[in-house]
Amino acid sequence: MSSDADHHEPEAKRAKTEDSNNAGDTDIHLDLKDFAKFKFGEVLKEDPVRKTLALKATVDGSTDPAVVFLEKSAFTEECGKKILESDTTLKQTFHNDIYGSYTGFPQQELNGVKVTIIHPATSKHIAKFSAKESIIVNETPQLYKDVLLEHLKESAFNVQWVYNILEHRSEQERIVCEDADPETGFVLVPDLKWDGESLESLYLQALVHRRGLRSIRDLTADHLPLLRNIRDRGCEAIEKKYGVPASELRVYFHYQPSYYHLHVHFTSVQFDAPGTHVGKAHFLSTVINNLELVPDYYQRATLTYYLPRSDPLADKLRRATDGVSAE
C-alpha cells in the first residue's frame, strides 16, 4: 500500500459518528463487487512514476463523496514468468534494429490493480489525497529564530511516545541496541515502516537519550561525541544483528524532521527509501564533517527545504520575508 494510503486517521472515526444517521453510508464495504454505484468526479492526484491515481467519486444513494486510490501492482517473479508463458497479446509501437517497443495485454488475473476506497470521505481525506504544490524555502538563521522557534512552540508537537521508548515503557522488546549514557547514549529500534525482516528494505532509527535537542539546528561541535557514537555503535549493532555492513547503510537526519526529538535514520542503500532527497535528508557523515569544520555550522547555515504551498509554516515564512524564495 502506498504511503498515501496507509494511515487511518482519527478524523475517520469522527466522520463515522457524524454520519451515523446517514444509513448505509459506512456499509459500502460490506458487499462491494464492482464500481456500478460509483461515478467519476475528478482526478485528485496522478503519479506517473509510481503509477498511482487518486480520484474523487460520487456514490449512488449517498450525499458523501468517496476517495478511490488506484495503484498498479508491482511485478513479482511468478507473475513475470506467467506473463511470458501464458497468453499475452503484444501490440508493436515501433522497432529499430534489435530494439522493439510493445504494449502487452496480460491475462486479466495477472494484472490486478490495488484499489483503496474511502467512503464517506471528509474534506480532510480529499485534501490528503490531492496533489500538493511545493515551494523551496531557504531558511536563514534569522528565519529559524524568528519563525521556526515560534512555530514549534505553537505547534506543541507531542513526543511522549519517544520518551516511552527511552524509558522502556513501550517497544522494549524491539530495542536492537542501547547505550544508556545520558550525554552520548541512544536507543536503536526498527522503524515502524519496516517489517523487521527483509534486508533490502532495512530501516531503523536511533533516538538520542539526551532531551532538548530538537533537530540538527541545535547541534554544535559539543555534540560530536554523541554523533560519532551513534555512527559507530549504530552501524556496528546493525552489522552484528542483520549482517549489513556500514558501506551499505545510508545514515541521515531529516530537516524538517517529522518529530522534534533528535533522531537518526539508518536505511539500506539497496532500497529507494522515502525522504532521501536533498532538501530533506542530511547525511550524518556530512553533519559531523560540517561541525568539525565550523563548530556552530548549524546556527550559521542557511538550510534549504521544500514545503507544500498550503502548509501553515510556509505562510508564516512568507509573511516574515518579502518572498520565501528570495535567498
For a copy of itself, the binding residues in 212-251 under the rule CB under 8 A are: 231, 245-250
Q: Which three cell numbers stand for residue 43?
A: 482526478
Q: Is 23 in the site for a copy of itself (CB under 8 A)?
A: no
User: Where does this chain touch a copy of itself (CB under 8 A) — which range of 6-14, 147-155, 159-167, 217-225?
Assistant: 6-14
Q: Is 52 in the site for a copy of itself (CB under 8 A)?
A: yes
Total site size for a copy of itself, rule CB under 8 A? 112
User: Where does this chain touch a copy of itself (CB under 8 A) — which range of 146-154, 169-177, 183-191, 301-309?
Assistant: 301-309
Nearer to a copy of itself (CB atom), residue 81 or residue 193: 81
Whether omega before 205 lies within 30 degrees of 0, making that bond cis, reads no
Angle, helices 284-293/224-242, rounded to nearest 10 degrees: 160
Whether omega before 256 lies within 30 degrees of 0, making that bond cis, reads yes
User: Where does this chain touch a copy of itself (CB under 8 A) — which range of 24-32, 142-150, 179-187, 215-223?
Assistant: 24-32
Q: Which residues in 164-203 contact a copy of itself (CB under 8 A)?
A: none
Nearer to a copy of itself (CB atom), residue 130 or residue 138: 138
Least distance from a copy of itself to the Cβ atom of residue 34, Å: 6
Distance between CA atoms of 182 and 211, rounded to whole angstroms?
9
Distance between CA atoms of 305 and 254, rounded to whole angstroms?
10
Nearer to a copy of itself (CB atom), residue 86 or residue 172: 86
Nearer to a copy of itself (CB atom), residue 39 or residue 241: 39
Give the count of beta carbons closer than 10 Å to the beta carbon of residue 107. 12
Q: Which residues in 105-124 contact a copy of itself (CB under 8 A)?
A: 105-109, 111-121
Distance between CA atoms of 177 and 165, rounded to whole angstroms?
12
Cα 281 to its chain centre, rounded Å, is 12
Q: Is 259 in the site for a copy of itself (CB under 8 A)?
A: no
- Which single residue is written with the C-alpha cell 549482517? 243
Q: What angle do CA 213, 219, 224 make, to 5 degrees?
A: 110
Distance between CA atoms of 283 and 302, rounded to whole angstroms?
16
263 is catalytic: yes
- Pick one of 21, 76, 160, 258: the residue that binds a copy of itself (CB under 8 A): 76
Of 263, 265, 277, 282, which one is the catalytic site residue?
263
Least distance from a copy of itself to the Cβ atom of residue 212, Å: 25
Distance between CA atoms of 115 and 283, rounded to whole angstroms?
36
Q: Which residues in 125-164 contact a copy of itself (CB under 8 A)?
A: 133-136, 138
Q: Which residues of 178-210 are buried (b: 16+ CB within 10 A; e: fewer)?
A: bbeeeebbbbbbbbeebeeeeeebbbbbbbbbb
Nearer to a copy of itself (CB atom), residue 21 or residue 101: 101
Nearer to a copy of itself (CB atom), residue 18 or residue 167: 18
Q: Is 53 in the site for a copy of itself (CB under 8 A)?
A: yes
CB 28 within 8 A of CB 61: no
Active-site residue numbers? 263
